[in-house]
Structure 1
Amino acid sequence: MAHHVVRIEVWLRDGLVDPEGRTVSEALSGMGFPVLSARAGKIYEVTIDAGSAVEAESLAREMCEALLANPVRDSYRVEVLGDG
């Protein structure tokens, strides 16, 4: 087995209201920054003990389905960064 570092990004699905993103956008605009919009999400970097990068990606997707992402409101992206 090898260690693989995986980045998991979790975002609200397009079309859903993102109150945190809206607050950040309004605050930055109020400070004079030319911000048109902002989205808030979560990024996880997880080190996984897996036999291959393919297996590490599969395990990360299982983690998303089990805990990290709500399938009703979230979408997610998984990227294997390399060996840890």
Structure 2
Amino acid sequence: MSYLVEVKTSLKKGMLNPEASTIQKALALLNYEVDDTKTSNIITFKMDADDIKTAEAEVDEMCQKLLCNPVIHDYEITISEE
């Protein structure tokens, strides 16, 4: 079975996020006041697996090994049938 996968990674709470700080400062210079700016990355791909549970396990392993650094990142996995 083929699945569409989306992995959203973001820095854990308390981690410094210079990209978000720069965005917030730039918006303030344009007279837009925003609070609690965060950034995230979204990785999407298709994969084949026997069932959704197998796909979830494989994607979680991918996240732990390559797609993010579990020490500093949180991640959210969304999987749907193609």
Q: Same fold (TM over 0.5)?
A: yes
What is residue 47 of structure 2 aligned with on the other side?
48
Q: Which runs of 4+ in 1 moved over 2 A?
A: none
CA distance in 1, matches of 2:62, 2:68: 8
Query: What is the Cα deviation at residue 20 of structure 1?
Result: 0.4
CA distance in 2, matches of 1:58, 1:42: 20
The answer to whether the 8 A contact 1:3-1:50 is kept is yes
The answer to whether the 8 A contact 1:10-1:69 is kept is yes
Query: What is the Cα deviation at residue 28 of structure 1?
Result: 1.3
CA distance in 1, matches of 2:54, 2:28: 43
> TM-score with structure 2 length normalisation?
0.90
CA distance in 2, matches of 1:83, 1:10: 21
Q: Deviations over 1:29-57 (max 9, x none)?
A: 21122311311111011211111112111
What is residue 83 of structure 1 aligned with on the other side?
81
CA distance in 2, matches of 1:62, 1:52: 16
Could you tell me which runs of 5 or more consecutive residues in structure 1 were left unpaired when the two chains were aligned.
Answer: none
- Partner amino acid, structure 2, of 1:59: E
Percent identical: 28
CA distance in 2, matches of 1:41, 1:77: 11
> TM-score with structure 1 length normalisation?
0.88
What is residue 16 of structure 1 aligned with on the other side?
15
Q: Deviations over 1:9-35 (max 9, x none)?
A: 111110011000111111112112231
Supply the RMSD in Å over aligned alpha carbons. 1.1
